[in-house]
């Protein structure tokens, strides 16, 4: 680690600044984002099988917006509150990772 | 047949089976840069010490045309041998025989040598190089894995268990190494994952190479699944041999004592440490300054390097070291470092290895990611492991010992047998700046020049509290020592602790925050 001396950075713990090295894991950590209740995000990687609603549709709380297949199960993605489908970001057959924005509602 | 003929017949049979999957498969194995299972065992063990079991075992599968196939030794070599004279049991999966795939008899051979190791109370070393379950053998393969995992668990803490990943180790197979004490990996050869790149591509459409997903570097640096990283198989075997010299054969014995040696380090310890607590240094230099021959054998060097763990000897006796590393992340405790240290502490406790803790840390790492990753649960592992341990526990506070971290790093309150502190130690509820900001909030806010007042109050706090004497006055620290006296004091502490007895209430087992 001797050759890394020049990589020393300021690192704050409890208002005090320390000179130290960062680990790759720490340097790559993502800043926290406050979740937006209007964004419907995938909680597991999988495939969008069927879209049950169209953009602009008025939807009641608990109605199925789309079917998301993951780990050999067909998961129903439900409307979280009474509202409208603002924008759909996925299409049937599309493979999506975890944390992917699928639908925006309002 | 005459006796001679019988012997010649045996030799012929042996020769044939010892070739494993045959010359072509061996060539292929070598082309991948890998040694064969047999040559690995011979390279690892003392010369001519390997005694093989079950060379002539045959599989019993009948479906999918398996009845017409002969698989020599059923793809795994097992036996006993020695490493520097210490007896060990070994198994090595043979990738040249049906890709080292695990069927019923293959698993039976492994469990046989595991049972043997447990009964004989000697270390078990498993060399993994297998494509996974032998699909043709169906649920028998799953049964085989399960029986291996069960034995890994039962033997845990009784005999040392070492896993060496020298090829693929995928799917359920990864859980045997994960249950063992130490996992060794080799760059570009070891590959471990639950679901491979193929499945990930089918499910997610994401492309990732085996190396990026579960290569040796990844498991040494990111996941913490591997404990030792080597650039070649030969280097890996040297690491295993060295580890064997530091650990006992089983949990009722102590590690072999070597002739005592003075440290090679000839400078002054106090010159290693900057007096400004905000400046870093490499805590491994301090360890090397106090251990025999300056020989420190680090474990998990690349994972969570903000805490350093490993073995060294004091007066020839094996000691486990746990030390905060100010050079990386200021030496903070976080999820990964707590997890890493806690498991090591439990290892040392299980195998009668005294623990020396060197402390210099500013506290737990702040941040949403840490809190959400469960730093409470992971941090608690440290408290649990230190409190639970009954081996000799010695702490030296080098500089900072703030807040919850002070308690966690083997404080008197968790049962430390000896608490030493250097005069540079700062034992306090938090860093001086933070503490002054809270205690003197009113004075600072009401002052005409609040910045100046803050500096004044911080200075006041440092003078009064950022030292070892407040804790020493309460008896929380036994002795404030000069850095140069450290080795001498530690040697004394270890000598005094030789016959330490510390009993815990009877229980089936505790419930640590896994």
Note the pLDDT of residue B366: 87
Phi-psi region of B353 (alpha: psi -120 to 50; beta: other; left: phi over 0): beta
Angle between helices B283-290 and B486-496 (to 10 degrees): 60
Q: What is the pLDDT of residues A8-18, one digit of tens each?
A: 888 888 778 89
Cα–Cα distance, B512 to B514 (Å, whole number) = 6
Query: B224 at the A interface (CB within 8 A)?
Result: no
Note the pLDDT of residue B389: 98
Q: Which two three-digit tokens encode residue B373?
A: 């990753």
Cα–Cα distance, B182 to B176 (Å, whole number) = 11
| pLDDT surpasses 60 at A51 | yes
Residue of B217, B272, B276, B278 to mutate, interface with A, max A Cβ within 10 Å: B278
Q: Which two three-digit tokens encode residue A27?
A: 């340097």
Cβ-defined contact of B206 to A97 (cutoff 8 Å): yes
Q: Which among B303, B222, B279 has a CA at the least distance from the CA of A20?
A: B279
Provide the mean pLDDT of chain A: 89
Query: B431 at the A interface (CB within 8 A)?
Result: yes
| Overall fold of domain A39-105 | OB fold (Dihydrolipoamide Acetyltransferase, E2P) (2.40.50)
| pLDDT surpasses 60 at A3 | no
- Read out DSSP for B384-444? HHHHH--S-EEEEEEEEEEHHHHHHTT-GGGT-SEEEE-TT-EEESS-HHHHHHHHTHHHH
Note the pLDDT of residue A5: 62
**CB of B411 closer than 8 Å to CB of B435:** no
Compute the CA torsion angle A59, A60, A62, A64 (nearest 10 deg). Answer: -20
Note the pLDDT of residue A4: 59
What is the domain partition of chain A in residue ranges? 39-105
Q: Which two three-digit tokens encode residue B320?
A: 């486990």
ipTM: 0.80
Cα–Cα distance, B359 to B380 (Å, whole number) = 17
**CB of B335 closer than 8 Å to CB of B375:** yes
CA B425 to chain centre: 29
Cβ-defined contact of B431 to A14 (cutoff 8 Å): yes
Please name each of the domains of chain B with its CATH number: 31-245 (3.90.226.10), 269-428+467-496 (3.90.226.10), 432-465 (no CATH)
| pLDDT surpasses 50 at A74 | yes
Output the furthest CA–CA distance in chain B (Å, rounded).
110
Cα–Cα distance, B40 to B234 (Å, whole number) = 9
Share of chain A above pLDDT 90, in %: 57
Cβ-defined contact of B327 to A1 (cutoff 8 Å): yes
Query: B333 at the A interface (CB within 8 A)?
Result: no
Per CB-CB distance under 8 Å, the chain B contacts of A19 are: 278-280
Q: Which two three-digit tokens encode residue A59?
A: 């939807």
Query: How close A64 gets to chain B, by Cα (Å)?
Result: 23
Of the partner residues A18, A46, A97, the one whose CB lies closest to the CB of residue B362: A18
Cβ-defined contact of B431 to A15 (cutoff 8 Å): yes
Q: Which two three-digit tokens encode residue B417?
A: 């047998």
Give the residue ranges of DSSP H helices in B192-232.
Answer: 197-204, 210-214, 216-218
pTM here is 0.93
Neighbours of B84 (CB within 10 A): 10
Neighbours of B122 (CB within 10 A): 18
Of the partner residues B204, B403, B430, the one whose CB lies closest to the CB of residue A95: B204
Digit-by-digit pLDDT tens for chain B (514 residues) are: 689 999 999 999 999 999 999 999 999 999 999 999 999 999 999 999 999 999 999 988 888 888 888 889 999 999 999 999 999 999 999 999 999 999 999 999 999 999 999 999 999 999 999 999 999 999 999 999 999 999 999 999 999 999 999 999 998 899 999 999 999 999 999 999 998 898 888 877 788 999 999 999 999 999 999 999 999 999 999 999 999 999 999 999 999 999 999 999 999 999 999 978 889 999 999 999 999 999 999 999 999 999 999 999 999 999 999 999 999 999 999 999 999 999 999 999 999 999 999 999 999 998 899 999 999 999 999 999 999 999 999 999 999 999 899 999 999 999 999 999 999 999 998 888 888 889 999 988 888 888 899 889 889 888 888 899 999 999 999 999 999 999 999 999 999 999 999 999 999 999 999 8
- Pairing state between β A83-88 and A39-41: unpaired
Cβ-defined contact of B366 to A97 (cutoff 8 Å): no
Note the pLDDT of residue B360: 95
Give the total residue count for chain B. 514
Note the pLDDT of residue A1: 46
């Amino acid at each position: 680690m001797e050759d890394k001396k020049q990589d020393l950075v300021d690192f704050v713990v409890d208002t005090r600044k320390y000179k130290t090295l960062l680990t790759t894991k720490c340097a790559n950590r993502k800043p926290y984002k406050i979740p937006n209740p209007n964004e419907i995000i995938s909680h597991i990687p999988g495939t969008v099988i069927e879209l049950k609603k169209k953009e602009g549709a008025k939807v009641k709380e608990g109605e199925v917006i789309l079917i998301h297949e993951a780990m050999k199960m067909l998961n129903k993605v439900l409307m979280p509150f009474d509202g409208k489908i603002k924008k759909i970001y996925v299409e049937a057959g599309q493979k999506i990772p975890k944390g992917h924005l699928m639908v925006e509602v309002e | 047949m005459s006796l001679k003929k019988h012997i010649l017949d045996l030799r012929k049979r042996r020769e044939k089976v010892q070739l494993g999957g045959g010359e072509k498969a061996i060539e292929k194995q070598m082309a991948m840069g890998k040694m064969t299972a047999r040559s690995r065992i011979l390279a690892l063990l003392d010369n001519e010490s390997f005694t093989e079991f079950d060379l002539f075992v045959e599989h019993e599968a009948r479906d999918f045309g398996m009845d017409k196939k002969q698989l020599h030794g059923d793809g795994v070599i097992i036996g006993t041998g020695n490493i520097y004279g210490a007896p060990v049991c070994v198994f090595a999966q043979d990738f040249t025989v049906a890709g080292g795939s695990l069927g019923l008899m293959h698993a039976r051979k492994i469990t046989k040598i595991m049972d043997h190791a447990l009964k004989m109370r000697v270390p078990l070393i498993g060399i993994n190089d297998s494509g996974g379950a032998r699909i043709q053998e169906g649920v028998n393969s799953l049964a085989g894995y399960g029986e291996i995992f069960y034995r890994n668990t039962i033997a845990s803490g009784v005999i040392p268990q070492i896993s060496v990943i020298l090829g693929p180790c995928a799917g359920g197979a990864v859980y045997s190494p994960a249950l063992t004490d130490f996992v060794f990996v080799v760059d570009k050869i070891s590959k471990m994952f639950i679901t491979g790149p193929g499945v990930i591509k089918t499910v997610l459409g994401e492309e990732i190479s085996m190396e990026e997903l579960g290569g040796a570097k990844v498991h040494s640096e990111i996941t913490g699944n591997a404990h030792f990283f080597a650039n070649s198989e030969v280097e890996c075997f040297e690491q295993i041999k060295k580890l064997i010299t530091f650990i006992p054969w089983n949990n009722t014995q102590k590690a072999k004592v070597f002739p005592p040696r003075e440290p090679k380090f000839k400078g002054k310890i106090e010159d290693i440490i900057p007096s400004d607590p905000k400046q870093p240094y490499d805590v491994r230099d301090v360890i090397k300054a106090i251990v025999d021959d300056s020989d420190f054998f680090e474990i998990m060097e690349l994972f969570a390097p903000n805490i350093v763990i490993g073995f060294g000897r004091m007066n020839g006796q094996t000691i486990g070291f746990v030390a905060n590393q100010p050079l990386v992340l200021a030496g903070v405790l976080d999820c990964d470092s707590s997890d890493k240290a806690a498991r090591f502490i439990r290892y040392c406790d299980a195998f009668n290895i005294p623990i020396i803790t060197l402390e210099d840390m500013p506290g737990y790492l702040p941040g949403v990611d840490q809190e959400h990753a469960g730093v409470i649960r992971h941090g608690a592992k440290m408290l649990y492991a230190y409190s639970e341990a009954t081996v000799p526990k010695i702490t030296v506070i080098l500089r900072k010992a703030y807040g919850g971290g002070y308690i966690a790093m083997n404080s008197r309150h968790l049962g430390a047998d000896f608490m030493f502190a250097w005069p540079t130690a700062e034992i306090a509820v938090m860093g001086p700046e933070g503490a002054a900001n809270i205690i003197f909030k009113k004075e600072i806010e009401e002052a005409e020049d609040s910045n100046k007042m803050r500096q004044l109050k911080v200075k006041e706090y440092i003078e009064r509290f950022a030292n070892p004497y407040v804790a020493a006055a309460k008896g929380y620290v036994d002795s404030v020592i000069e850095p140069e006296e450290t080795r001498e004091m530690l040697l004394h502490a270890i000598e005094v602790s030789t016959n330490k007895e510390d009993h815990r209430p009877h229980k089936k087992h505790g419930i640590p925050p896994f």
